A and B are shown apart, each in its own frame.
Chain A
Amino acid sequence: MTLGSVPPKFKVSIDRDQCMDCGRCIENCSYGVYRREGDKILIESRKCTACLRCVAMCPRDAITLTEKPVDYRSHPVWTREAREDIINQARSGKIILSGMGNARDLPIIYDRLLLDACQVTNPSIDPLREPMELRTYIGKKPSKLNFRKTESGDVELETKLAPNLKLDTPIMIGHMSFGAISLNSQLSMAKAVAETGTFMGTGEGGLHKALYPYQDHMIVQVASGRFGVNIDYLERGAAIEIKIGQGAKPGIGGHLPGEKVNEEVSKTRMIPLGSDAISPAPHHDIYSIEDLVQLIRSLKEATEWKKPVFVKIAAVHNVAPIAAGIARSSADAVVIDGFRGGTGAAPKVFRDHVGIPIEAAIASVDQKLRDQGVRNEISIIASGGIRNSADLAKSIALGADAVYVGTAALVALGCRVCGNCYRNLCPWGIATQRPDLVSRIDPEAGAAQVSNLIHGWTLELSELMGAAGINSIESLRGNRDRLRGYMLDEGMLKILDVLPAGA
């Protein structure tokens, strides 16, 4: 092998004075970093992914992990990553696969947007003592209401409302399929959304029987592979989502490696055991907007117009007019997934280079819908890289109705964002189907962690709104007046329609 091996990414070491030789690191590491030989624990650092499972489980804090113990000669153009990708491809001749979201060091717009608060001239509102309304309805709203007077002189509503989802907090959990993640992960999140009065997506992997008790809080997805889709599935969901694209890999379909397709996954998805589930890049019945319109209507017809239908698209350059086209169909919500959106498996070149940031996409979609007078026709759900309640508040101020979180919910379950989701070895029991690993998640405990996160963000959002003198979420929505840009260039400020700090 003329290429030789590349330097290890991490160096793992054990403080032998601290170590009590309990072997928990060996048990916990599914990547095979640790092994016992005689009375010694040996380490193979090259296999380490920095999932930190061993560090978390070591009772003595004896494990140290160093990133890039051996590095390449530094070079501004030929980065370590650039060199290693070439070496890997020279070896394999294949597409480089990756997990989680965009890993490039590009500026994060959220971090350059600042929120407002009241001083003197208007009182901040204290959510501990005053009502604070976060209730959000997702779905079509009429652009105006008509009333009629009854014979007795009462005013009656004439306009009929379309079905809407009622969220107690504008945080939903995005679509992560059974297959990509374990049933225990899905169960944990399903219990959490039921408890916190919100919703989660099934992903394109069907709906496992164990989730039926939570179906009123599940949004069932119809993706290009149509895995798990039948009338029973559609009828069980609180809403239906057509997935056109995903922020981590715009333009291509879902990818579930065969290693993860065990018997339960195979039954739920309705695909053969152990087969790779590669969804087609387009829906083969949607080659243009009019086909999408037909699919939306078919799904609505099949479910008797009782459920909202969402359309999820990746944030690409032309996202605004595409969303406006979707708004003119019978779709009730458009989901925009930014280029930082996570994934179980995506070609690295897509994950890191295709699509645009969600902040810019929200701003341009919201504005385009307003320009065309159809903003009320559709809700905007934003996703892709939302990490905390500030990102949430900023998304809503830019114009989103609600957000989907994916990675954040997984981190609440233990994920340390190591990015090896596609290998079926997730030591946290999340992105794996191996029963011994899956059993590491107790759905009750997992549900408590995820609902804690949703509660925590909800409380912080209430405080942020109160500080801004706002007691109802609809007054934050699209309120770009309460945002200021810091270190953003003029072009971006214009797209976001936000003033610079100090103005």
Chain B
Amino acid sequence: MCGIIGFIDRTKSRMDGSSIKAALSLMNERGSGDGAGYAAYGIYPEYADCYALHVFFDNMAEPKAKVDEILKQWGEIVHQEEIPTTPQPGIKKVHIPWRYFFKPSEDLMAGRMASENDVVMHIVMQVNAYVNGATIFSSGKNMGVFKASGWPEDVANFYRIEDYKGYIWLAHNRYPTNSPGWWGGAHPFNLLNWSVVHNGEITSYGTNQRYVEEYGYKCTALTDTEVVAYLFDLLGRQHELSHEMVVKALAPPFWDDIDRMPAKESELNKAVRLTYGSALMNGPFAIVVGTEDGIVGFTDRIKLRPLVVGENGDRLYISSEEAAIRTLDPEVKNIYTPRAGEPIIGRFIE
């Protein structure tokens, strides 16, 4: 059991983190104090062209030197600093959260790493798999993940979450059951601009993991949610599928329904299942994914986890509980629960 929240303002009007903290804390009985986290998009406008790499360092000696070296090899560190934190009695600071604003060098983009995204993905995989004492847990542009072991309000106060203003917010309150409660295991999970909060347990993890690892992703977080970020990156970025199509691959219609569809639609859905069978996610889940152009919420095919949607003008809210949405926006309208597997997509207005 976990509690999740997704928020988007379609006009890119930004909201600070205070109400997200309040809404997430409301769902404390969905968590166990072993992890909480927030992702916010639109928080680094002054470095919008740079990749904001958030890193947990175990110490500031060896791991930091190694990460510096790798980054300098691949491009330019435009700016770096410790992520500002305020000590909290409920949080033991076992890592030093650090951020780099990084620009990959165009000269090195070739072969398998033909784009800056490919380079950054490579760096993230290398550091997380091979550099002891360093974990890059956020690597998008103009966005960042803030997470730790602790209760939602402690983690929010620790990172001073109310100081950030974002047009997308994701939040997660963790009750770990299948992996250790460590900082890197808290949600959101992120790769490039994909961030994932997840309530549930992916019973197909082994299949999904071995599928993404064929394409250079390395699962190192010791928990199942990580693979969702990689599936979105593989299908959404590398295979250029639309968000709707990615959800169709991850939580496809049942064969009985596909058989009853009109011929063309049936053929398309069959093709998705045949091609992306290894990406299908099984087991109970409710997920919200943050992307560079919006948010996507969906549940497993038989909806074994709750998901509620609310709207108010340009704002779209997705959460495990209606009460959390009402805390975020007491004026919220049009609250409903989507069907199993149905994608809820909030996009920016052009």
Contacts and interface: CB of A to CB of B under 8 A. Distances in A.
A471 B271 contact: no
Contacts of A125: 302
A133 B275 contact: no
25 contacts: A121-B177, A122-B283, A123-B304, A125-B302, A131-B254, A133-B254, A133-B255, A137-B274, A145-B276, A147-B245, A155-B242, A155-B268, A156-B268, A161-B267, A370-B214, A375-B214, A470-B282, A472-B301, A474-B204, A474-B277, A475-B281, A476-B204, A478-B211, A481-B209, A482-B206
**4 shortest interchain CB distances as A-B pairs:** A481-B206, A475-B204, A474-B277, A475-B282
Contacts of A92: none
B214 A471 contact: no
Interface in B87-132: none
A468 to B, nearest CB: 6
Contacts of B301: 471-472
Interface residues of A, number: 43
A135 B255 contact: yes
B268 A157 contact: yes
B227 to A, nearest CB: 11
B278 interface: yes
Interface string A129-163: 01101010100011111010000000111010100
A376 B282 contact: no
Contacts of A142: 271, 274-275
Given A469-B283, A475-B283, 16 more contacts: A121-B1, A121-B178, A122-B200, A123-B304, A135-B255, A141-B275, A144-B275, A145-B276, A147-B241, A155-B268, A156-B264, A161-B274, A164-B274, A477-B278, A479-B207, A480-B210
B213 A478 contact: no
A220 B161 CA distance: 66
Q: Which of B205, B256, B268 has the most CB of A within 10 A?
A: B268
B271 A475 contact: no
Nearest to B274: A141
Nearest to A123: B304
Contact of A157 (B177, B239, B271): B271
Contacts of B268: 155-157
B267 A157 contact: yes
Contacts of A321: none
Contacts of B83: none
Contacts, number: 120
Contacts of A469: 201, 203, 282-284
Q: Which of B178, B275, B301 has the most CB of A within 10 A?
A: B275
Given A118-B203, A131-B256, A157-B271, A471 B282 contact: yes
Interface string B177-196: 11000000000000000000
Interface range on chain B (Cβ under 8 Å from partner)? 35 or more
B271 A161 contact: yes
Contacts of A371: 214
A477 B245 contact: no
A302 B272 CA distance: 30
A300 to B, nearest CB: 19
B280 interface: yes
Interface string B3-21: 0000000000000000000
Contacts of B276: 145
Contact of A481 (B1, B205, B256): B205
Contacts of B274: 137, 141-142, 161, 164
A155 B264 CA distance: 10
A122 B285 CA distance: 9
A456 interface: no
A131 to B, nearest CB: 5
B273 interface: yes
Interface of B: 1, 177-178, 200-201, 203-207, 209-211, 213-215, 239, 241-242, 245, 254-256, 264, 267-268, 270-278, 280-284, 301-302, 304
B203 A470 contact: yes
Interface in A335-377: 370-371, 373, 375-376
A475 B203 CA distance: 8
Contacts of A123: 284, 304
B9 to A, nearest CB: 26
Nearest to A373: B214
Contact of A145 (B177, B214, B264, B272): B272
A137 B215 CA distance: 23
A145 B210 contact: no
Contacts of A131: 254, 256, 302
Contacts of B214: 370-371, 373, 375
Nearest to B216: A373
Interface of A: 118, 120-123, 125, 130-131, 133, 135, 137, 141-145, 147, 155-157, 159, 161, 164, 370-371, 373, 375-376, 397, 468-472, 474-482
Nearest to B255: A135
B284 to A, nearest CB: 5
A141 B211 CA distance: 14
Contacts of B239: 144-145
A399 to B, nearest CB: 8
Nearest to A162: B274
A472 B207 contact: no
Contacts of B271: 142, 145, 157, 159, 161
B210 A474 contact: no
Nearest to A142: B275
Contacts of A397: 206
Contacts of B201: 121-122, 469
Contacts of B281: 475
Nearest to A367: B210
A395 to B, nearest CB: 14
B203 A122 contact: yes
Given A137-B274, A370-B210, A472 B203 contact: no
Contact of B283 (A370, A373, A470): A470
Nearest to B209: A481
Nearest to A143: B275
Nearest to A149: B242
Contacts of B1: 121
Q: Which of B206, B256, B267, B284 has the most CB of A within 10 A?
A: B206
Contact of A474 (B203, B207, B213, B256): B207
A273 B21 CA distance: 86
Contacts of B283: 122, 469-470, 475
A145 B280 contact: no
Contacts of A373: 214-215
A307 B44 CA distance: 56
Contacts of B204: 470, 474-476, 479
Contacts of B264: 156-157
Contacts of B304: 122-123
A156 B262 CA distance: 13
A376 B1 CA distance: 34
B88 to A, nearest CB: 28
A393 to B, nearest CB: 13
Nearest to A468: B203
A474 B280 contact: yes
